[in-house]
Structure 1
Amino acid sequence: METITYRPASRKWQWGALAVFVLTVVIPAGVVTLGMGWQEFVRRYSADDSGSSLSETTIALLVFGLSALALSYCCAMRTYVGAAGIRVRTPLRRRSVAWGDITDIGVRRYDPSFFGRRGTATYRIRLLLASGEGLFLPAPVTEEFDSEMEAAKGEIIRRWKAATGTPAETGTPAATAVTGTTAATSAAEPPA
């Protein structure tokens, strides 16, 4: 059985974010380390009073660098669907789930909120594991429940059923909504 790879975004964004991280964090840290040294940097940083260009530059570089690292993290996520099960890869973690450990596969609508502000809702494939844990796959991710998401979900369910001999009536047909950390079932069916 051939392994299918799902990616959430274009690789151009990943390489761009990595370049920004190198330019704003790695190179300045190398200049400080090889140039003046960290003791001299800390002395200059603490000796300057308010309004110093050194502290403003340091803060700006850290903000841009950490933002680029976060963007790189989001762009580097992968989902591999193979004969043995599903493998999920992120820059900081790798996880494998055997087909026998999955009890249900469905699509969920995720409505993120951050400090009271609502983000863009996305649809993601969610696995329900035998341990009772739910696992969102990092890819594919879409803003609309479209034919591409339905095809990805259908292929994953087909492979799961073929590997485990699961009856045809399992698999969650409706999309459900997830707001923050609490789950609520969506009243409306996703468009087919």
Structure 2
Amino acid sequence: MFGWSRLTEASERQQAYVVSMLGSGGAGVLFLGWTVGDGASWWGLLAVEAVLAVPFGLALRAYRAGIYVSRTGVRVRTLVRTRSVAWGEVVEIDSGPYRRIDRPDDPRRSDAIFLVLRSGERVRTPVRILNPTLGGKASGPLYERRDIQRFKAQLRDRIRS
């Protein structure tokens, strides 16, 4: 499966992750660059940059979270996992609670897109409906309800073709 294109454009939050990590990493380099007095301090600078590489890697991964499609299948990319599924295995596109513990009447509930596979397995995507009651507490690829409906329609069209 190759030739992947992103179905879900990066949300503003996802873009902010990368910008904030670039900013903090750049500030760390500048700060340590000003404090370097002798050659031994360069090792400290290198150590700090190695430590900053982990959160930057996570921010980059968070930026890339979403749904990708190709001619042969669909790819779900989350913060910690990427899963590719052939179109022939996907039987339905559904939505439901992002977390298993969410109740239908919970005002903090945020529904996500799910791929329903031929085996009956439901693959949760990180793509969720923006719930205004969460305010700034939610993270990840959050979209308006109309965008989620558009993504689901595009996926359903791919299944039928």
When normalised by structure 1's length, the TM-score is 0.49
Change (3 A) 1:90 1:107: closer
2:136 match: none
Whether the 8 Å CA contact 2:90–2:118 is kept in 1: the answer is yes
Answer yes or no: is the 8 Å Cα contact 2:91–2:159 preserved in 1. Answer: no
Contact preservation (8 Å) 2:93, 2:115 = yes
Distance in 2, Cα, partners of 1:120 & 1:65: 33
Within 5 Å, give how 1:31-110 maps onto structure 2. 35=41, 70-90=58-78, 93-110=81-98
% identical equivalent positions: 21
Runs of 5+ unmatched residues, structure 2: 132-143
- 1:127 maps to 115
CA distance change for structure 1 residues 88 and 126 in 2, over 3 Å: closer, same or farther?
same
C-alpha distance in structure 2 between counterparts of 1:24 and 1:69, whole Å: 17
Amino acid at match of 1:103: V
Q: Residue 98 of structure 2 contacts residue 124 of structure 2 at CA under 8 Å; is this kept in 1?
A: no
Superposed CA RMSD: 4.3
| Secondary structure of the corresponding residue to residue 6 of structure 1 | coil
Once the two structures are superposed, residues 31-84 of structure 1 have per-residue CA deviations (whole angstroms, 9 ceiling, x without a partner) of 7x951757xx9xxxxxxxxxxxxxxxx9xxx8x987766554333213112321
Question: Alpha-carbon deviation of 1:106?
Answer: 0.2
* Cα distance in 2 for residues equivalent to 1:75 and 1:154: 23
For residues 147-167 of structure 1, the C-alpha deviation after alignment (integer angstroms, 9 at most, x for no partner) is 2211211221121122xxxxx
- Which runs of no fewer than 5 residues in structure 1 stay unpaired? 42-57, 163-192
Alignment deviations for residues 79-123 of structure 1 (CA, whole Å, 9 cap, x no partner): 11232111233565432110111233201132587xxxx994322
Q: Does 1:18 align with 2:21?
A: yes
Distance 1:9 1:88 in 2: 16
Superposed displacement of residue 6, structure 1: 0.7
For residues 131 and 27 of structure 1, the distance between their equivalents in structure 2, rounded to whole angstroms, comes to: 53
Change (3 A) 1:34 1:159: farther
Q: Secondary structure at the match of 1:158?
A: helix
Residue identity in the other structure for 2:150: A
Please state if 1:152 is matched with 2:151.
yes
Is the Cα–Cα contact under 8 Å of residues 128 and 135 in structure 1 kept in the other structure? yes
The answer to whether the 8 Å contact 1:14/1:75 transfers is: yes
1:160–1:18 CA distance, 2 compared to 1 (3 A): same
In the alignment, the residues of structure 2 paired with residue 95 and residue 23 of structure 1 have an alpha-carbon distance, to the nearest angstrom, of 32
What number of residue pairs does the alignment pair up?
Answer: 133
Greater Rg, structure 1 or structure 2? 1
